[in-house]
């Protein structure tokens, strides 16, 4: 199997590990501030990212590679909600570009299964991006009134 594909899978795994760390850190901060609705959604997305990281690790192992355990970034803490959403939009946009590019390389390397893994992850990442963009737009348009509905369970 292709070292190039294993490297792409590990790069994606590093990206997922960063997203997990980021979203779970945000979840804890928001839960502590009583923004439970947004905190709960971030936890849900963080868990989806954990499943992505696991799927990537399984594929890497199948290809006789060694899954990385190192995130490619560090979680940003202490951000206000609009800043959090901007951070998350950046993470998701980078992942989408990375996975689109990786699926093309996998096809060229004749690894259809890895290509399908990247395409499957892309669907979730696009949904995450859409969610974060919508939340940011709501806050920009409605401000404190929208933030108020995110408080409580």
pLDDT greater than 90 at residue 152: no
- What's the pLDDT band for 9 if we cut at 50, 70, 90? very high
Query: pTM for the whole thing?
Result: 0.93
CA separation, residue 31 to residues 24, 83, 131 (Å): 10, 17, 19
Q: Kindly state the tokens that stand for 115.
A: 């290509």
What was the pLDDT predicted at 153? 73
pLDDT greater than 90 at residue 84: yes
Class of domain 3-69+78-149: mainly alpha
pLDDT greater than 80 at residue 28: yes
15's CB contacts (< 8 A; 6+ apart) are: 72, 91, 94, 95, 98
Tens digit of each residue's pLDDT (9 = 90 or more) over 59-78: 999 999 999 999 999 999 99
* Percent of the chain scoring above 90 in pLDDT: 93
Mean per-residue pLDDT for 109-138? 97
Average pLDDT over the chain, rounded to an integer: 96
51's CB contacts (< 8 A; 6+ apart) are: none
152 compared with 45, residue with greater pLDDT: 45
Tens digit of each residue's pLDDT (9 = 90 or more) over 29-49: 999 999 999 999 999 999 999
The domain ranges of the chain are 3-69+78-149
What was the pLDDT predicted at 1? 67
């Amino acid at each position: 199997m292709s070292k190039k594909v294993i490297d792409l899978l590990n790069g994606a795994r590093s990206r997922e590990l960063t997203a997990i760390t980021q979203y779970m850190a945000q979840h804890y901060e928001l839960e502590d501030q009583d923004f439970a609705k947004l905190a709960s959604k971030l936890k849900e997305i963080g868990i989806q990212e954990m499943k992505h990281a696991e799927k990537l690790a399984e594929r890497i192992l199948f290809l006789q590679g060694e899954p990385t355990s190192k995130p490619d970034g560090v979680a940003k803490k202490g951000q206000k909600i609009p800043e959090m959403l901007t951070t998350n939009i950046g993470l998701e946009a980078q992942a989408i570009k990375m996975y689109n590019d990786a699926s093309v390389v996998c096809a060229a390397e004749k690894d259809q299964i890895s290509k399908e893994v990247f395409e499957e992850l892309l669907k979730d990442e696009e949904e995450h991006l859409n969610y974060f963009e919508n939340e940011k737009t709501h806050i920009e348009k409605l401000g404190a009134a929208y933030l108020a509905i995110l408080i409580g369970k």
